[in-house]
Amino acid sequence: MKKEQEEKYIARGIALGTAIGAALGVAMNKIALGIPIGIAIGAAIGYSMQKKKNEDAS
């Protein structure tokens, strides 16, 4: 069960990053560039949240 919860941080980060990236891409009229950048930023945020949670649990 703990492993499933850890993976959700990255998934949530990617989902949030995709939404933000798509919005920025539409605003800049470059949606094909905004989505991958949003995914990368969201994955990084999710990974950092997961790492922080693991350090707190240890």
Domain that residue 23 falls in: 2-57
pLDDT at 57: 75
- Give the whole-angstrom CA distance, residue 46 versus residue 8: 8
pLDDT at 54: 83
Q: How many domains does the chain have?
A: 1
Q: To 5 degrees, how large is the angle CA 22–CA 35–CA 47?
A: 110
Q: How many residues does the chain have?
A: 58
21's CB contacts (< 8 A; 6+ apart) are: 34, 35, 36, 37, 38, 39, 41, 42
Percent share of the chain, pLDDT over 70: 86
pLDDT digits (tens, 9 = 90+) for 31-43: 999 999 999 999 9
Residue ranges of the chain with per-residue pLDDT less than 70: 1-7, 58
- Give the whole-angstrom CA distance, residue 32 versus residue 50: 28
Q: What is the mean pLDDT of the chain?
A: 88
